[in-house]
């Protein structure tokens, strides 16, 4: 895997200090891979211009062909990315009057709701956002900030092309397509072959096992995997194998690799093209004309929230009940009150009753019940923190249930429980064993 390399510079003290997480670095990483550019670095810097400049100099010294910046394009005086990039590439700043007018139109619409807003401050900010490096290609604003594609002033300077994008992901993401359409990006990408990344997901094996399997595939099957860039990681109890390769060179090698994985792990592989378990369950419900409802205790609505996250989910997700208290479990989901003194609220019996209750109250094809102890309090020697019972009921007479001991803190126990519940739904709808 060789060719063009890129670096990403994310600006913003609130990202550096972790007040908000960086979504742009990972998102841009995927986009770069799609167009065949190797993502070498992401550097997060605060809002100091000298630090932003140091990051640009670093990427240039490391020999990248493209730098993408995100953030620092706002209307206030401390938003200085465009100016720093202009200086870096040897281009003076100049006012783009057409752009100023277009931003003014956007601002007039946005500020209509706030009649008392400081109009002078708005005008100053508007003008500032229209002052750009001479010779830059403008990417029209999605919010109020324009993006830029800026070439070095001197040909043969060895400096990279710089793409300047706004910080908010909802502004940055729609601008990427426009950036690719610019002549500067087209020229850069000419002749590049896009990489392909395939993602296989499996459930229920330890990660260490996978490491020795990769060795075994090379030794026993005689496959040299060096033409593939393979990354494995463990997430929420699922193992993810991401493989990147140049299709014209390594497509058949990848097919052999996936077949080798299949021979060893066929039963636990649930996704071969990057689908999430959420998407798989949504597809099974939609394609089967089925509906689903939930009865949740310890997960407190997380499963319902995941089932309703995808667009169009209202066609199969009917709803759910979050019942923390035993009274609510009985009143809303018809759980037999006799269970609580006998088997306890955290039991296969109650999980099953929650699933059946959700199914019947919502008139759904499939019901899911989850009850457990997410911690940090509430554990007992019999049922320590992390004890979770999950049941799936329907369609028709199909039933599945599990009693689990999930490691980790409250957030992990809740998240893993919801994930495992989705795997059980998949298993019930598909038939073959999964975990």
- Looking only at residues 302 through 321 of this chain, which bind its own copies when binding is defined by CB under 8 A? 302-305, 307-309, 311-314, 317-321
Concatenated DSSP letters of 103-160: HHHHHHHHGGG-TTS-HHHHHHHHHHHTEEETTPEEEPPSSSPPEEEE--SSTTS-PP
Query: Contact between 327 and its own copies (CB under 8 A)?
Result: yes
Structural contact between residues 329 and 320, judged by C-beta atoms closer than 8 angstroms: no
Q: Would you say 47 or 275 has its CB closer to its own copies?
A: 47
Among 127, 379, 412, 435, the residue binding its own copies under the rule CB under 8 A is 412
User: Residue 359 corresponds to which tokens in the numbers above?
Assistant: 């199914």
Helix axes 207-219, 247-265, angle to 10 degrees: 120
In the complex, minimum distance from the CB of residue 121 to its own copies, in angstroms, rounded to a whole number:
4
By CB under 8 A, the residues from 374 to 393 that bind its own copies are 375-378
Q: Would you say 54 or 108 has its CB closer to its own copies?
A: 54
Among 189, 242, 271, 404, the residue binding its own copies under the rule CB under 8 A is 242
Tell me how far apart the alpha carbons of residues 283 and 374 are, in angstroms, rounded to a whole number.
Answer: 29
Structural contact between residues 330 and 336, judged by C-beta atoms closer than 8 angstroms: yes
Tell me how far apart the alpha carbons of residues 206 and 407 are, in angstroms, rounded to a whole number.
Answer: 14
Tell me how far apart the alpha carbons of residues 262 and 34 are, in angstroms, rounded to a whole number.
Answer: 25
Output the CA–CA distances (angstroms, integers) from residue 389 to 185, 277, 368, in the order listed.
53, 19, 11
Interface map 243-282 toward its own copies (x if CB under 8 A):
----------------------------------------
By CB under 8 A, the residues from 115 to 154 that bind its own copies are 117-118, 121-122, 125
By CB under 8 A, the residues from 154 to 173 that bind its own copies are 170
Query: Contact between 340 and its own copies (CB under 8 A)?
Result: no
In the complex, minimum distance from the CB of residue 73 to its own copies, in angstroms, rounded to a whole number:
13
Structural contact between residues 350 and 335, judged by C-beta atoms closer than 8 angstroms: yes
Among 3, 26, 177, 338, the residue binding its own copies under the rule CB under 8 A is 26
Structural contact between residues 199 and 33, judged by C-beta atoms closer than 8 angstroms: no
By CB under 8 A, the residues from 203 to 232 that bind its own copies are 206, 208-209, 211-212, 215, 229, 231
Question: Any idea which residue has 């995100």 for tokens?
Answer: 70
Tell me how far apart the alpha carbons of residues 362 and 320 are, in angstroms, rounded to a whole number.
Answer: 8
- Total residues contacting its own copies (rule CB under 8 A)? 98
Query: Contact between 44 and its own copies (CB under 8 A)?
Result: yes
Among 4, 29, 218, 404, the residue binding its own copies under the rule CB under 8 A is 29
Query: Contact between 21 and its own copies (CB under 8 A)?
Result: yes
Q: Would you say 45 or 422 has its CB closer to its own copies?
A: 45
Among 93, 328, 343, 435, the residue binding its own copies under the rule CB under 8 A is 328
Tell me how far apart the alpha carbons of residues 66 and 71 are, in angstroms, rounded to a whole number.
Answer: 17
Query: Contact between 47 and its own copies (CB under 8 A)?
Result: yes
Among 4, 16, 93, 131, the residue binding its own copies under the rule CB under 8 A is 16
Which of 11, 92, 28, 26 lies closest to 66 in space, CA to CA?
A: 28
388 forms bridges with which residues in the sheet?
372, 404
Among 14, 181, 183, 220, the residue binding its own copies under the rule CB under 8 A is 14
Query: Contact between 323 and its own copies (CB under 8 A)?
Result: yes
Q: Which stretch binds its own copies (CB under 8 A): 47-55, 245-253, 334-342, 396-404?
A: 47-55
């Amino acid at each position: 895997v060789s060719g063009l390399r890129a670096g990403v510079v994310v600006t913003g003290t609130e990202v550096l200090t972790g007040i908000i997480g960086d979504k742009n670095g990972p998102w841009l990483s995927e986009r770069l891979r799609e167009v065949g550019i190797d993502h070498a670095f992401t550097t997060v810097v605060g809002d100091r211009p000298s630090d932003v400049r140091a990051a640009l100099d670093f990427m240039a010294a490391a020999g990248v062909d493209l730098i993408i910046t995100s953030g620092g394009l706002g209307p206030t005086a401390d938003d200085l990315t465009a100016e720093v990039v202009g200086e870096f590439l040897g281009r003076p700043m100049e006012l783009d009057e057409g752009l100023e007018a277009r931003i003014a139109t956007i601002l007039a619409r946005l500020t209509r709701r706030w009649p008392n807003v400081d109009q002078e401050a708005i005008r100053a900010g508007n003008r500032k956002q229209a002052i750009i490096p001479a010779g830059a290609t403008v990417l029209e604003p999605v919010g109020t900030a324009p993006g830029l594609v800026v070439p070095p002033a001197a040909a043969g300077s060895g400096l990279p092309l710089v793409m300047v994008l706004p910080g908010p992901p909802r502004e940055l993401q729609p601008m990427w397509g426009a950036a690719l359409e610019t002549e500067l990006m087209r020229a850069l990408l000419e002749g590049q072959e896009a990489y392909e990344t395939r993602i296989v997901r499996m459930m229920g094996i330890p990660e260490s096992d996978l490491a020795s399997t990769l060795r075994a595939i090379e030794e026993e099957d005689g496959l040299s995997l060096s033409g593939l860039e393979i990354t494995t990681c463990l997430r929420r109890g699922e193992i993810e194998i991401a493989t990147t390769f140049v299709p014209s060179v390594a497509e058949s090698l990848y097919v052999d690799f996936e077949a080798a994985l299949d021979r060893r792990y066929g039963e636990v592989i649930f996704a071969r093209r990057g689908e999430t378990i959420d998407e798989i369950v949504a597809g099974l419900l939609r394609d089967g004309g089925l509906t689903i409802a939930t009865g949740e205790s310890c997960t407190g609505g997380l499963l319902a929230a995941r089932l309703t996250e995808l667009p169009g989910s209202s066609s199969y997700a009917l709803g759910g009940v979050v019942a923390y208290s035993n009274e609510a479990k009985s009143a809303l989901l018809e759980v037999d009150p006799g269970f609580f003194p006998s088997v306890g609220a955290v039991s296969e019996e109650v999980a099953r009753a929650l699933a059946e209750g959700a199914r019947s109250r919502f008139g759904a094809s499939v019901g899911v019940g989850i009850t457990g102890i997410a911690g940090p309090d509430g554990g007992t020697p019999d049922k320590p923190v992390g004890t979770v019972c999950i049941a799936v009921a329907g369609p028709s007479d199909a039933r599945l249930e599990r009693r689990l001991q999930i490691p980790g803190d409250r957030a992990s126990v809740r998240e893993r429980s919801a994930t495992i519940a989705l795997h059980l739904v998949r298993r019930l709808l598909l038939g073959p064993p999964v975990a």
